[in-house]
Amino acid sequence: MVVFPNCKINVGLNILRKREDGYHDLDTIFYPIPITDVLEILPSSNQNDPVEFSMSGIQMDANKENNLCIKAYWLLKKDFAHLPPIKMHLHKSIPMGAGLGGGSADAAFTLRLLNDKFNLGCSTKQLIEYAAALGSDCPFFILNTAAAATGRGEQLTSTNLNLKGYQLILVNPGIHISTKEAFAQLKPCIPGKSINEIIQQPIHCWPNELKNDFESSIFISHPAIAWIKSSFYQQGALFASMSGSGSTVYGIFPKDAPAFLLPTETFDTSGYWIKTITL
């Protein structure tokens, strides 16, 4: 059985406060984007290696202990002892450390696929609870519809945000932003408006109010990321932002906008990942 874990963008991201458990309370909107990895799971008879894992595409850490898909299997195995050995293949197309939630999507889709393929009978609520144990934005990919996220990202409520008909361009400069780096110089604060309030306004109002709190420090450390955002606005973006803690930046354009071209005189863009999607 094959599934296609998709990524997400953050439409606005406010970091409100640091919690006693070490996490941060946030306010954001997760919006699903049809750029996908490919995940296949087949039954296996190999009792000596319950998870035979292989991968292709973008290379990532081969350490099984750090792999969220494998962690998802063992998380379910604790409660469903009859879960059989499997062969799992992951083809990576979504950049990692990019603010797109690719790893979280892979983990959540693993939970969903195992539940469906082996008739575990988990409800959506149970899958969300398992996903929350794997990562803060994993629960979003269980529902996989636009949602306002609070808490550490696991508290989800539906939102009426609809970007259908717009052109979305994503640019990743190949810079890996670690969570530690992203939070190092961050100063949490509570804004006057929630993101869900701001996005009720026409999109041309968003640049004045809709922010990603990580940008102020990340842009100083990595000017190429700030330059991508500036390039979007220079070429007519209605709204542009870094997604998550970076390093991907996206621009929302009218459907009939001219082709977007990154200028090459400032930074070497030869290794950049660029995707254009009509939503």
For 69-117, the pLDDT digits (tens) are 999 999 999 999 999 999 999 999 999 889 999 999 999 999 999 999 9
More confident residue, 48 or 92: 92
Model confidence at 235: pLDDT above 90 = yes
Q: Secondary structure of the chain: what % helix, strand, coil (to 5)?
A: 30, 30, 40
| Pairwise CA distance, residues 216 & 219, whole Å | 6
CATH of 2-158, one of 2.60.120.470, 1.10.357.20, 3.90.470.20, 3.30.230.10: 3.30.230.10
* pLDDT value of position 181: 78
pLDDT at residue 228 tops 70? yes
Q: Specify whether 229 is catalytic.
A: no
Give the position of tokens 């005189």.
265
Q: Check 8, 71, 92, 229 and give the catalytic one.
A: 8
Residue 127 scores a pLDDT above 80? yes
What integer is the mean pLDDT of 53-60?
A: 90
> 37, 137, 229, 275: which is the annotated catalytic residue?
137
**178 vs 269, higher pLDDT:** 269
> What's the pLDDT score for residue 62?
59
Residue 76 has what pLDDT?
98
Note the pLDDT tens digit of each residue in 140-194. 999 999 999 999 888 999 999 999 999 999 999 999 887 777 887 788 888 889 9
Q: Is 116 a catalytic residue?
A: no
Given this model, what pLDDT does residue 246 score? 85
User: Would you kindly state where each structural domain of the chain is located, as residue ranges?
Assistant: 2-158, 167-278
Domains 2-158 and 167-278 share a fold: no
What pLDDT was estimated at residue 61? Answer: 66
Encoding tokens for residue 257? Answer: 């906008």
- Predicted local distance difference test score (pLDDT) of residue 199: 95
Mean pLDDT (the chain) is 93
Provide the sign of the torsion angle of the four alpha carbons 235, 252, 14, 153, taken in this order.
Answer: negative
The third-level CATH classification (topology) of the domain covering 167-278 is Alpha-Beta Plaits (3.30.70)
Please give the distance of CA 27 from its chain centroid, rounded to a whole number: 15
C-beta of residue 104 within 8 angstroms of C-beta of residue 141: yes
For residue 241, which of 208, 196, 275, 201 has the smallest C-alpha distance?
208
Outline where 52-160 has alpha helix (H).
68-79, 102-117, 124-134, 138-143
